[in-house]
Structure 1
Amino acid sequence: MHLGALFVASHVLSSGSVRETARRFSLAASTVSASVSNLESELAIKLTKRSSGELVKLIASGKVRDALRPIMHAVEQLYEIAGERAEAFERWASRIPIKLVTIERFLEVADQGSINRAARRLQLGQPQLSLQIANLEKFVGHQLLERQAQGSTLTEKGRRVYGIFSVVSQAWNDLKSTADERYRRVARSLRIGSIIPTGAESWVARCLGALVADWNAGHSKNAISLISMTADDLREALRSGRIDVAILDSVFELESFGHRELLRTDLVAIAPPASTGQTVADLVAEHPICTPSERTGLGDAATALSRERTVSRRFRNQDIMAADSLPVIVDLVANHGYISFLGRVSALPIADRVRIVELAEHIPISYHVAFNHRKASADACAMIAAVVDKIISEPVAKTGCCRLKRLSANEGD
């Protein structure tokens, strides 16, 4: 990465605007955006995102901006040396062509007192290193090394530049070491995403809790990182590589990943405890409806079913057709007079809060686990399936619910 690109990216993190930075430094907006992207790549962290066409700074951007301040101060000091014949500071600083790796190589030459010795340590050709030092001197506008028979020594300007570059090197290495450690943690971590549990007593929450306990008891070298999100977000996160394993209610658009069915249950209606409707048609006619998004397996089945019963609806404009948080849906049903639809396995643990109403027809709902190519992901899937086996056997035994059954695991193609 170039020192000039660091200067540009730092200004974006301060101003929060690519366009303003581009205008201020007379650069193309694409050049400014590339500077930020390069910094994100170097540090293995997301600093900004686009929202409604505007740049939004993320929390990490403030820490990186602060960590870059010593480098920005060093750039000002370098300008004092090179600026005797340079243009206006900001235009000059945003175009510094010096690579950070060149700075490290200059410091190595100064420390070794010899281009030849530095080249051997850096495993570079001596002519290549000599050319890089010569280009550096040309940019600064001063001779930095005095070549002698026994080696090279720093000139007066060279000593000043050495001090400036030492600050740059230390600040950058501090930033990179943090990024490298973060990368190692991510590489070791197994990121598991799941649909949002209905509550702590739900089969999803219990499954994840048991998975963590069993995983750590086995002294796995991979740490587990858990995150819950909507089924639609889970698909996108798995495709983009932000998670390694996803527990969700449909493998729609995930057929290229490994996947297996965890369990199959049937759809039931959940209604307020004080409700009196005995059929789904009665409940739909008397209560507003909330369902998960139609982009999920559960939401698709629930929405189709509710629409079939909307002929005599009196609360049509009160419907919530895409409440993607299951805890919110449960609260709306338990406390605010709504009805919804869940898989039986999700409804049974909250039977003390809602009334479960059977459907006239059997509508199957399947839950799946999808995973990427990592061996740790496949290992986690096997453990998740084993945990689910234990969990779903309890409600079957206790409630006599014969319509909930575990299927033999089918590996995805």
Structure 2
Amino acid sequence: MSYVLMDRAKMDTSTLLIAHNVLRQRSIRGTARLLGKPVSSIAAAIDRLEAQISVPLVHKAGTGIVLTLEAERLSPSISQLADHIQDVMAIGNRTRSDLSLSLSALSRFVHVSEAGSIRRAAKQLGLGQPQLARQIAHVETTLGCRLLNRHVDGAKMTEAGKRLVRSTRAIEAIWNELAHEAAGRSRRSAATIRLGSIIPMGHDSFVATLLASLVSTWVDNKPRQPLLVASTTTEGLIAGLKSGTYDAVFLNSVSVPTDFDGFLVANSPLSLVGQSSAMGFLHGPDDLAKIALNSLVALPSPKSGLRQIINRLLAEILTEDELRTLRVIEVDSMPVILNLVLRHGAVSVLPSESVTSIGGDLSQISLPSEYNLPYWLVCGRNDGSRQTALAVLHVLKGLGYAQHAK
């Protein structure tokens, strides 16, 4: 019998019933109304289960929640647990959801049934006999029925006790499977390096090419230490590094925030890009202002490092009055910006090497080198984050990247 996993899990029947109802109702508030409990109690139950199985089950969406894909996958197992728990409560005709028994208490009761006495079970479990006797008595009191008939030679299961053993074994089988999966997730999570990155423009962009080379080489060099790469905006990367969501981040920005250490990976030249019809016969740096003023300008939002450089460029080539007359579309999606340039006559400032591979009827004006876009590998000022950055930096240097530290 695998009572060890059950004993380690700090889980109870009430929490599992609440979680089952949240997944079924797809609502924390709806479950609170259904069960007559505070919303905070329902949310706390979900937090407890998520912690035990090492996987998020719900995400906040406005005032409601959305189930994760893992929640959808695990819902049948949690539903089966709820059914067996209802069977347990029905043994003593107790159906109230606020009645709660720890899974470890149920597991120990099964151990008593197998050992044939509380004394022998206590010795096998390494517990004091009075402590185990009190726990069994608590289970009987909670269910409102006798489970054991004690006698001089040991203890004999009542019919209610036999029913409890059958239901508990079914609960154990499901819970231990969940616990086994959780242990694997915890080990993988502990070993995984989490690298945040700016969002690549496309599959053949500089960022996508660098990250693909990094991940491929990493798998060969460090097969037991997975590298997880997630993409978001520069602002999101900095917030994730501060919160510990990422161990290190790969971003483009004019400079590295003073709270962090940074390693310069590359400097990317930039170009003003547009269809030949939008650019006309204007092809030099002195024509940038004319093109910008006579075109729809598609830009990423100020959350991005690229926008920081574009703002500096515009401030230097345009007057304040001219800046106010610009027709600007802000889009935090490089594929959308590219579509605006390719199909809707907009102009934008993009990394030069990315434009070269796009093709189509495009013209570009290279910007002076002082407008180059720096790419940084950034880490926190602690040993763990810095060691992660140095490990990534070592691979990047082998690939021909990484120039110098901040």
TM-score bucket (shorter structure): 0.7 to 0.9
User: Which residue of the partner structure matches residue 208 of structure 2?
Assistant: 205
Residue 338 in 1 paired to residue 346 in 2? Answer: yes
RMSD: 2.8
Question: Partner of 2:31: helix, strand, or coil?
Answer: helix
1:78 pairs, out of 88, 101, 107, with 88
Residue 303 in 1 paired to residue 311 in 2? Answer: yes
Deviation at 1:11, TM superposition (A): 0.5
Residue 113 in 1 paired to residue 116 in 2? Answer: yes
> In structure 1, what is the Cα distance between the partners aligned to 2:369 and 2:362?
21
Q: 1:243 to 1:360 in 2, by over 3 A?
A: closer
After superposition, what is the alpha-carbon deviation per residue over 1:345-367, rounded to whole angstroms, capped at 9, x for unaligned? Answer: 55555577743213468334321
Deviation at 1:376, TM superposition (A): 4.6
1:162 pairs, out of 161, 165, 187, with 165
Query: Do the aligned residues in 1 keep the contact of 2:12 with 2:102 (CA within 8 Å)?
Result: yes
Amino acid at match of 2:332: D
> In structure 1, what is the Cα distance between the partners aligned to 2:390 and 2:206?
20
After superposing the two structures, state which structure 1 stretch, 44-53 or 186-195, moved more. Answer: 186-195
Deviation at 1:202, TM superposition (A): 2.0
Residue 176 in 1 paired to residue 179 in 2? Answer: yes
Q: Unaligned stretches of 5+ in structure 1?
A: 390-405
Number of aligned residue pairs:
385
Deviation at 1:59, TM superposition (A): 2.2
User: Which residue of the partner structure matches residue 401 of structure 1?
Assistant: none
Query: Do the aligned residues in 2 keep the contact of 1:284 with 1:313 (CA within 8 Å)?
Result: no
User: Which residue of the partner structure matches residue 403 of structure 1?
Assistant: none
Query: Counterparts of 1:321-400 in structure 2 under 5 Å?
Result: 321=330, 323-344=331-352, 346-347=354-355, 349-350=357-358, 354-359=362-367, 362-371=370-379, 373=384, 375-389=387-401
2:293 pairs, out of 277, 285, 289, with 285
After superposing the two structures, state which structure 1 stretch, 251-260 or 287-296, moved more. Answer: 251-260
Query: Do the aligned residues in 1 keep the contact of 2:292 with 2:326 (CA within 8 Å)?
Result: no
Question: Partner of 2:250: helix, strand, or coil?
Answer: strand
User: Which residue of the partner structure matches residue 4 of structure 2?
Assistant: none
User: Which residue of the partner structure matches residue 34 of structure 1?
Assistant: 44
Query: Do the aligned residues in 2 keep the contact of 1:285 with 1:314 (CA within 8 Å)?
Result: no
**TM-score of the superposed pair, with normalisation by structure 2:** 0.85
Q: 1:76 to 1:369 in 2, by over 3 A?
A: same
> In structure 2, what is the Cα distance between the partners aligned to 1:255 and 1:41?
34
Query: Do the aligned residues in 1 keep the contact of 2:204 with 2:354 (CA within 8 Å)?
Result: no
Deviation at 1:3, TM superposition (A): 0.5
After superposing the two structures, state which structure 1 stretch, 39-48 or 368-377, moved more. Answer: 368-377
Query: Do the aligned residues in 2 keep the contact of 1:267 with 1:344 (CA within 8 Å)?
Result: yes
Question: Partner of 1:290: helix, strand, or coil?
Answer: strand
Query: Counterparts of 1:224-235 in structure 2 under 5 Å?
Result: 224-235=227-238
> In structure 1, what is the Cα distance between the partners aligned to 2:255 and 2:368?
27
Amino acid at match of 2:392: A
Amino acid at match of 1:363: Y
User: Which residue of the partner structure matches residue 393 of structure 1?
Assistant: none
After superposing the two structures, state which structure 1 stretch, 243-252 or 220-229, moved more. Answer: 243-252
> In structure 1, what is the Cα distance between the partners aligned to 2:370 and 2:81?
66
Residue 133 in 1 paired to residue 136 in 2? Answer: yes
Q: 1:216 to 1:62 in 2, by over 3 A?
A: closer
Question: Partner of 1:197: helix, strand, or coil?
Answer: coil
Query: Do the aligned residues in 2 keep the contact of 1:273 with 1:334 (CA within 8 Å)?
Result: no
Query: Percent identity over the alignment?
Result: 28
Deviation at 1:289, TM superposition (A): 0.9
